[in-house]
Structure 1
């Protein structure tokens, strides 16, 4: 199963994946230092975060399809180079606009790394062994995303803010050099270049994500926000119509006729909406209500992230015995219960209680997250032909990223409603309904899988894949 060639492939893809996922949240704890050093405004600070998310989210699907067409190794390694350069330029930035542009460059690289790393891992393992390999991939992905604030806090304890970016440079160089040597080149379904379709998709996603990210800051009734959301939705409708006219569309909406494919994507959106809205507010609760430092909050959240890292590989092993649907339902149920537990705890105890009280729901949420990441990826990719796995990977990552942005926006909107927050108890009062909504979002994901996904995901003979080197892709279990 884990031959030397496959272990090497996992190593290269996972170190690049960890680097890209880490940079989603690692910057947050360094924002005060960056503001002082660069003289940045509050709007600049928001764009230091948003520039990465916007570039990352809107390019996931185009880069996935491009990898299928011209070669997954090529696009993956190009993403590593772009991300590494973006990290270097971020560290060298001496102005706000320079850092914003460099963060966007990082997002462009990350959009190639994340989905293509999944597709490379998927194509390297035979069908009956994929779930275990994707469990490792999911564990690394969840770990990188979750421990960003902790890593940022540790770096900021004894180093300047630039080190948050410079630490990526040697990792990127190692991933690129080893990737040139160790990664095989594979292709999926080759599709013609479609500049109009790409422009409609990227512009539409940009409008939706920009509106969601600016809604709470600028007000949902401002033209910048509702105009962006409406314009983005219109462009996505035009994108759908354009795809239906194409003989070979680069996003095949016919896949959504398969209920399993449609509802794995649906569940990914609502799971991320629920969990990342909750993580965002609970991190603030640990700091602003309970008085922990950013590093202290990150250390406490290790109870969550450690369980994610442990559960994700175990989920891959459990899928072969219990089935994809059963493992995913367990993970979603655990997360729903954990978010409801958080809401009940804070409602009954207020803000002043020992961290030990939060340990149970944190560990349950982390376990549920780990049990969910792997079957979501595995289920979505298993629902399409082998040569469309790149497109499925991009679609899954894009819907989850969009869900996370949506969840943070809605949770923030609910949190800010109902009066001003002047004291820690006010914070506790406001966070409870947001956590309740997060639990409801998670329950929606659970119901989608429970009601509409049928059957155990089993190993099947995939459609042929063009493989150019090193690691054979079996066509039989």
Structure 2
């Protein structure tokens, strides 16, 4: 192919580039926070906002920018997202004050949101239905690697360079991706989406509710307990989301799009994704604590064992995508969620929990999410109307974060005392077995719900905007 008509697989690499840098920067900064706190003369609690504000920006703006991208030219919004991300990274590296650092991090988060809101929509636009599974399988691997390997990569870079280099490296990558996006991404916008109105009230309710829930989750993750303020934030966040649901029932252009969620594959796929992400996050937290505090593993050894999950997922996801493209998605979704459920039994039922059983749990769950995510994402994006694919992709990313928030809350509720004076000797006692048992039920519920998904093979349709 000529340079003006690149292969769709070449376009996928640009998409993966954006997915990697936007998810990697969620965790890559964490290891540098103590050094940054020392340099800017602030407390560790204050410097924690450098990590939090990035996530808050993404959670607040994902659905709104997804809706906006469907109205405008997706190619332009996506490519400009790389530029904004790179600009934010540049400003962070050059920051001399704490306020400037936070504002720059927020700008970087806006760019990351513009990228994440359109990543899966761009795959849907470029790939026909019978190839989306493989493409989104590769993209699911990148999401997992970027999300889980951030701290490890950040720690490695800090061995050889100062913390600003964690952000300097983003600048050339973002600029190259911006240029390639403007040159390679397909032009055109949906005429159907241009006519739709934007639900500003719903967007504000969703942003505020999700941000309050995330702030509550971050607070309980640090303190391992529910304070009155944390409970108030969580309850108010839930109230705002209920208000959003009531608001969306009154209008036909809501951010919770009626047409989108009237499609069974879309609402059921998002609900299933929420539960699987909840189970993943809720079980990773106590496993991490157990390895370090009970078995005496170093942070490096713990990280190496936890990497089993994305590594196994990386091998499985492309196969799952291929199978979905050839035979349909119902079998990989059901088998994947069933394996996720079975993995919980290694902790919930085994008399002794050892590093081997933890490794088995991580590996089997990794196989499960490799089968599930690649297939489920492809099914959702293929079921969504082409004119609303950015909104569908952004809501799917939003659901992933909400599932992680709920997982943190569930883990804190059931095993928040783990490691305290009263709970240090319990090791993997009753509370943590209950936690894994609850997550087993969630994963089984996804398996059962999978029977409601229409068993359809992907079509040979051409790509669409």
**1:71 alignment partner, one of 65, 70, 73:** 73
Which stretches in structure 1 are left out of the alignment for 5+ residues?
466-477
User: Which residue is 1:255 aligned to?
Assistant: 260
Tell me, what secondary structure is at the counterpart of 1:187? coil
* Secondary structure at 1:160 match in 2: coil
Residue 447 of structure 2 corresponds to 446
Question: Do residues 456 (structure 1) and 456 (structure 2) align?
Answer: yes
User: Cα offset for 1:301?
Assistant: 2.5
* 1:175 CA drift (Å): 1.0
Q: Which residue of 2 aligns with 1:378?
A: 378
1:20/1:110 contact within 8 Å kept: yes
The correspondence of residues 13-52 of structure 1 with structure 2, limited to 5 A, is 13-52=15-54
Measure, in 1, the Cα distance between the counterparts of 2:50 and 2:58: 13
Question: Contact between 2:210 and 2:237, CA under 8 Å: does it hold in 1?
Answer: yes
Note the C-alpha offset of 1:460: 6.5
Matches for 1:397-436 after TM superposition, within 5 Å: 397-417=397-417, 420-421=420-421, 425-426=425-426, 428-429=428-429, 431-436=432-437
Provide, for residues 277-319 of structure 1, a one-character-per-residue CA deviation record: whole Å limited to 9, x for no partner. Answer: 2223333333343333333332232322211112111111011
For residues 357 and 216 of structure 1, do their structure 2 counterparts lie closer, same or farther at Cα, with a shift above 3 Å needed? closer
Unaligned runs of 5+ in 2: none
**1:463–1:250 distance in 2 versus 1, CA, 3 Å:** farther
Q: Pick from 87, 106, 109: which aligns with 1:107?
A: 109
After superposition, the C-alpha distances for 1:309-367 in whole angstroms (9 at most, x for unaligned) are: 1211111101133421210111112222223314456x614xxx5x4554333222222
Instruction: Output the CA distance in 2 between the equivalents of 1:298 and 1:33.
Output: 21
Q: Distance in 1 between matches of 2:460 and 2:203?
A: 32
TM-score, structure 2 as length reference? 0.88
Tell me which of 112, 117, 120 is aligned to 2:119: 117
Match of residue 57 from structure 2: 55
Whole-angstrom CA distance in 1 between matches of 2:422 and 2:268: 42
RMSD: 2.8
The DSSP-based 3-state class of the residue aligned with 1:158 is coil
What is the aligned partner in structure 1 of residue 290 from structure 2?
A: 285
Cα deviation for residue 70 of structure 1 reads: 0.5
In structure 2, the CA distance between the partners of 1:393 and 1:98, relative to structure 1 (3 Å rule), is same
Q: CA deviation at 1:463?
A: 9.3
**How much does 1:47 deviate?**
2.3
1:219-238 mapped onto 2 (5 Å cutoff): 220=226, 222=228, 224-238=229-243
For 1:268-307, list aligned pairs within 5 A: 268-307=273-312
Is 2:149 the partner of 1:144? no
Counterpart Cα distance in 1 of 2:179 and 2:326: 37
User: Quick check: 2:63–2:398 contact (8 Å CA) kept in 1?
Assistant: yes
